[in-house]
């Protein structure tokens, strides 16, 4: 890779690329012969991904019309394939591993079923930008042999996983949702979390969609089109890990890597009815350094809390490339999950003192929080009472955008989404003293929360102020600016404080859309956030609810 292992930039020669769930090269050849090559021009991306099936070996100059025809031909060939029980697709990873061990299930069967699921429904959700079926099936066969020989590689051997397309994965372009990224370079490095998953035998299916450079709370881009919520295809799954949230919710992977710079794990988890954890900053090593500085976290997105604990145990293992990483804690995060909430003092606030929350969301989150008393905790209506830190966060985020994109030429900046380009321009104008003041406010907020947790073990809030809203919009609120939203007021403060925070499903609106409860713990207390989330999910399970897709 160019420039000290950072991806080089340049005008992308293609827009999105997905690999069909087949590893038969004759099949690939025959489809290619059927549809021909098409022209080499690339029209602008449409609203939805118009080419959800593209073989990875496809040359970058292949035309979009050719891609569309290949997509149609693939579906005509595969529409009669036998489906596998949805139970396999929604089975917890921890149970999958047990079934591999007793040989009642095979990684090959589970991977094939998951790839078939992607082929069947991802043209609707557009959760993936890359799916490498050949590599996935090869990994599944190797895993099957290890289990047969009684020599599994690690904790997630044979479990299908996805990786957000902001995170490097060896062998696949990481486009960052941007036409400015040049795909024609050596993609020969794994980010730490991806390397750990491979070392533990995971079957990595491909890359999930993201908005450009992960800059906003919905998932669409000129590269991949619009990603949709499997609970209602007219709604957004949120962002910026929207592809991961949609994939997990719809049974298109069992474990997913997400990133979170202002809510980008918890937003899609809340909108998609899945579990997501933003760990303590540095708990999961990250490399290369994030474009938005120390606001960004890497974490697990799953259907069950136990699976997130399993995944965190793997991806939190050390990597020497991250100088900001915490000292390695060798614990298994599944240990102690069943301890319950007895003796914990838990605070709940509907609005943090400043948020405008839709009444239905507030009522559902309040009922969920008050149910903690039935689980043994003392629940208190209390708030940290800090003012909305949006000005400080905006300063840090805008400056991060300007820094992250400063290597782009004027020509490349013309390819950047206009609102992001405006943000970059505004970020360039932020005075140094304003940036230092924002960083100081961040420190004060962190100190306030440390003091708050001397009294309360955990803080509960709604995950979001609204339910999922229509695609093609930034916000359901007309007064919101495209570069600032009021519907996610609970997430970004805890990126600033670096604390662990999770979103756990806690109910559904009258329209059948998921609602999440945010659980925030003291810095470094990832195990406590997981324990509380598990206690709630076990006491009030919603994991049997599946999207109507």
| Interatomic CA distance for residues 491 and 263, integer angstroms | 5
Q: Six-digit token pair at 460?
A: 């509960």
Q: Is residue 82 part of a domain?
A: yes
Tell me which residue range forms the domain holding 336. 2-539
Alpha-carbon Rg for the chain, nearest whole angstrom, is: 22
Q: Is residue 511 part of a domain?
A: yes
Structure tokens, 409:
């030429």
164 is annotated as an active-site residue: yes
Residue 239 lies in a domain: yes
Residue 231 carries which DSSP code? T
Q: Which tokens is 231 given?
A: 């609970």
Tens digit of pLDDT at every position of the chain (549 positions): 433 343 443 433 323 333 333 333 333 333 334 333 333 333 333 445 433 333 343 334 333 343 334 334 434 444 434 345 789 999 999 999 999 999 999 999 999 999 999 999 999 999 999 999 999 999 999 999 999 999 999 999 999 999 999 999 999 999 999 999 999 999 999 999 999 999 999 999 999 999 999 999 999 999 999 999 999 999 999 999 999 999 999 999 999 999 999 999 999 999 999 999 999 999 999 999 988 889 999 999 999 999 999 999 999 999 999 999 999 999 999 999 999 999 999 999 999 999 999 999 999 999 999 999 999 999 999 999 999 999 999 999 999 999 999 999 999 999 999 999 999 999 999 999 999 999 999 999 999 999 999 999 999 999 999 999 999 999 999 888 777 889 999 999 999 999 999 999 999 999 999 999 999 999 999 999 999 999 999 999 999 999 999
Is 71 part of any domain? yes
Number of separate domains in the chain: 1
Per-residue pLDDT at 86: 83
Q: Where are the beta strands (DSSP E) in 457-527?
A: 458-462, 501-508, 514-520
Q: Is residue 547 one of the residues assigned to a domain?
A: no
State the pTM of this model. Answer: 0.87
Is 297 contained in some domain?
yes
**Which of 303, 128, 115 lies closest to 210, judged by CA?**
128
- The DSSP line for 26-65 is HHHHHHHHHH----S--PPP-SS-S-S---TTS-TT--HH
Distance CA 474, CA 46 (A): 18
One of 94, 119, 143, 164 is an active-site residue; which one?
Answer: 164
HSE-up (13 A, CA, CB side) for residue 194: 24
DSSP state of 294: G
Give me the DSSP letters along 124-188.
Answer: HH--EEEE-HHHHHHHHHHHHHHHHTT---STTTT-EEEEETTS--TTS---TT-TTB--SS---
Within a domain: 545: no
Tokens of 392: 């400080």
Asked, for residue 442, whether it belongs to a domain, the answer is yes
- CATH number for 311: 3.90.1300.10
Omega within 30 of 0 (cis) for the link into 288: yes
Catalytic residue among 264, 269, 463, 475: 264
72: Cα within 13 Å, side-chain hemisphere: 8
With a CB cutoff of 8 Å and minimum separation 6, the contacts of 406 are none
pLDDT in tens, 469-497: 999 999 999 888 777 889 999 999 999 99
pLDDT computed for residue 484 by the predictor: 81
Q: Of the residues 119, 240, 269, 475, which is catalytic?
A: 240
| Confidence at residue 439, expressed as pLDDT on a 0 to 100 scale | 98
């Amino acid at each position: 890779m160019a420039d000290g292992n950072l991806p080089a930039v340049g005008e992308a020669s293609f827009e999105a690329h997905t690999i069909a769930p087949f590893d038969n090269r004759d099949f690939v050849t025959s489809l290619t012969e059927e549809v021909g090559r098409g022209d080499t021009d690339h029209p602008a991306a449409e609203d939805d991904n118009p080419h959800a099936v593209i073989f990875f070996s496809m040359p970058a100059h292949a035309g979009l019309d050719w891609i569309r025809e290949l997509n149609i031909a693939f579906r005509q060939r595969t529409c009669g394939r036998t489906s596998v029980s949805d139970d396999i697709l929604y089975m917890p990873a921890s149970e999958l591993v047990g079934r591999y061990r007793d040989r009642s299930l095979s990684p090959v069967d589970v991977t094939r079923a998951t790839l078939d699921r992607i082929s069947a429904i991802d043209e609707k959700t557009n959760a993936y930008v890359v799916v490498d079926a050949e590599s996935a099936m090869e990994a599944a066969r190797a895993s099957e042999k290890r289990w047969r020989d009684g020599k599994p590689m690690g904790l997630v051997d044979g479990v299908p996983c996805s990786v957000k397309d902001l995170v490097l994965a060896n062998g696949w372009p990481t486009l960052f949702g941007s036409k400015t990224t040049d795909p024609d370079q050596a993609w020969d490095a794994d980010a730490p979390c991806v390397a750990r998953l491979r070392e533990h035998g995971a079957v990595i299916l491909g890359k999930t969609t993201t908005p450009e450079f992960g800059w906003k709370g919905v998932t669409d881009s000129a590269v991949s089109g619009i990603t949709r919520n499997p609970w209602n295809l007219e709604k957004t799954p949120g962002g910026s890990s929207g592809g991961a949230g949609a994939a997990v919710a719809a049974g298109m992977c069992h474990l997913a890597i997400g990133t979170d710079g202002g809510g980008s794990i918890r937003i899609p988890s809340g909108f998609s009815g899945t579990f997501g954890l933003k760990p303590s900053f540095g708990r999961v090593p990250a490399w290369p350094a994030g474009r938005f500085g120390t606001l960004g976290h890497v974490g697990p997105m799953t259907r069950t809390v136990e699976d997130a604990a399993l995944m965190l145990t793997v991806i939190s293992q050390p990597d020497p490339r991250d100088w900001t990483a915490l000292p390695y804690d060798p614990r298994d995060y599944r240990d102690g999950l069943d301890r319950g909430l007895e003796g914990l003092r838990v605070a709940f606030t509907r609005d943090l003192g400043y948020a405008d929350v839709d009444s239905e969301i507030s009522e559902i989150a309040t009922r969920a929080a008050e149910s903690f008393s039935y689980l043994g905790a003392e629940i208190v209506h209390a708030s940290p009472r800090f003012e909305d830190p949006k000005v400080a966060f905006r300063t840090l985020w805008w400056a991060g955008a300007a820094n992250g994109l400063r290597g782009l030429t004027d020509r490349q900046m013309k390819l950047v989404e206009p609102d992001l380009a405006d943000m970059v321009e505004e970020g360039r104008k932020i005075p140094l003293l304003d940036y230092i003041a924002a960083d100081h406010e961040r420190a004060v907020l962190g100190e306030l929360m440390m003091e708050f947790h001397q009294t309360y073990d955990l803080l509960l809030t709604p995950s979001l102020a609204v339910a999922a809203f229509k695609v093609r919009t930034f916000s359901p609120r007309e007064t919101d600016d495209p570069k600032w939203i009021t519907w996610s007021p609970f997430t970004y403060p805890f990126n600033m404080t670096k604390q662990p925070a999770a979103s756990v499903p806690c109910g559904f609106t009258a329209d059948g859309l998921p609602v999440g409860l945010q659980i925030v713990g003291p810095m470094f207390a990832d195990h406590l956030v997981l324990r509380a989330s598990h206690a709630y999910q076990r006491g009030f399970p919603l994991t049997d609810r599946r999207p109507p897709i």
